[in-house]
Amino acid sequence: MAIRFGTYTEFQCPPGRDHADLINDMLRVAEHTDRTGFDVFTTLEHPFHSKFALNVAPLVLFAILAERTSNLRFRTLCHVLPLHNPMVLAGEIAEADILLKGRLEVGIGRGHAWLQEKANIPYEESLGRFHECIDIMIKAWTEERFSYRGKYYTCEDLSVVPRPLQRPHPAIFQVGTSSKTFVQAGQRGWRVVIGGPVDDAIFVEPHRTYLNACAAAGTTPYVGFGKAIFLAEDDQTAVREAETYASKFIEYNVSPLKEMDRSEAVKERMRKGGFDFYAGDDFFKMASVSYRDIVERGIMYIGSPERIARQLLTLHDLIPYDEFIIISHYGGIPAEKAMRTQELFHRHVMPAVRRGIADKRARQGMAARP
């Protein structure tokens, strides 16, 4: 399978930035993604915290971009299922699939812990609601009429319309932080996306867990990996220019966690709800990471096209991915610099990585011959 390349954005909004201006900038960056030959544009669904993300209606965004692009596929990473009525969301996604002429993919997850109780979803209910949501949505897409009796959602002889253009439904991508997330994805034949502003080695075990689950279930694995990137013509320029935006990227990512009640009683409730990652301190400590560590540890990939290509090939040796997703717009970065990263990535990094992976596969094929 040929490696796919995509982009991801969280719509990070610096304090005082005009919201409409930022959203319009992101439309320009997304259109540029299509012109420069990326395969997929991904974003998230995220209310409440503007520094972390300013995008509560990704399906509306995709419908607009579908009219302005030709080749891109579109994916939400992720629809925060516990915040939705699944009987309604299933129809909304199906209609978006029609409007996008089948260019839609569906990312599912529980979302960040800091979203749950602000939306009146107790931590303890989030996991149960998630499982019921996805079961209902799949029934809505694949059955003419259905009934469902769960703890949180109930319906009787319901027909959800419209039906998606893609049958039985658009490809499903699972995101999350727990091992159960990746086991479920492998068992049900879903694709996964991993990655983030931490050391790459953290994702080795989740990746292995997913592959093992796929092997046990007889399903075909598909792994996407996402990473924030800053490109310039040479390493020195990239490291110099990226510092402010990279530091803000980390700051804005951690900012909602700093606003949470992190008392021991609340942490225990988060753990009971399966939000162990947010009850722990590893992500919280990212707020104090130095810029030097961001660069040298590869928390973000910052440098020349040659350096970034080497990092992607090293990552592929560690975690063989089927899709690599770059984050080019973050931390208040000007749209022009984000588009420069996309342009350099397309022109130099994509072909180098494709060649490197093809050469590796050819060597592996030769070594496997008797």
Q: Which residues pair with 324 in a beta bridge?
A: 5, 225
Can you read off the two tokens belonging to residue 323?
């899709």
Q: pLDDT tens digits, residue range 11-36? A: 999 999 999 999 999 999 999 999 99
| Euclidean distance between CA atoms 64 and 353, whole angstroms | 31
Backbone φ and ψ of 47, nearest 5°: -90, 165
Instruction: State the pLDDT at residue 283.
Output: 81
Chain segment 239-286, per-residue pLDDT in tens: 999 999 999 999 999 999 988 998 999 999 999 999 998 998 888 788
pLDDT tens by residue, 25-70: 999 999 999 999 999 999 999 999 999 999 999 999 999 999 999 9
Q: Which CATH class is domain 4-368?
A: alpha beta
pLDDT over 90 (residue 176): no
Whole-structure pTM value: 0.94
Tokens 């699972």 — which residue? 174
Q: Look up residue 114 and give its two tokens.
A: 């800091």
Nearest by Cα to 252 from 73, 22, 39: 22
Mean pLDDT of the chain: 95
Band (pLDDT 50/70/90 cuts) for residue 213 is very high
The predicted model gives 306-323 an average pLDDT of 98
pLDDT at 70: 92
Three-state secondary structure of the chain = CCCEEEEEECCCCCCCCCHHHHHHHHHHHHHHHHHCCCCEEEECCECCCCCCCCECCHHHHHHHHHHHCCCCEEEEEEEEHHHCCHHHHHHHHHHHHHHCCCCEEEEEECCCHHHHHHHCCCHHHHHHHHHHHHHHHHHHHHCCCEEEECCCCEEEEECCCCCCCCCCCCCEEECCCCHHHHHHHHHHCCEEEEECCCCHHHHHHHHHHHHHHHHHHCCCCCEEEEEEEEECCCHHHHHHHHHHHHHHHHHHHHHHHHHCCCCHHHHHHHHHCCCHHHHCCHHHHHHHCCHHHHHHCCCCEEECHHHHHHHHHHHHHHCCCCEEEEECCCCCCCHHHHHHHHHHHHHHHHHHHHHHHHHHHHHHHHHHCC
Per-residue pLDDT at 227 exceeds 70? yes
Domain regions of the chain by residue span = 4-368
Do the beta carbons of residue 104 and residue 75 sit within 8 Å? yes
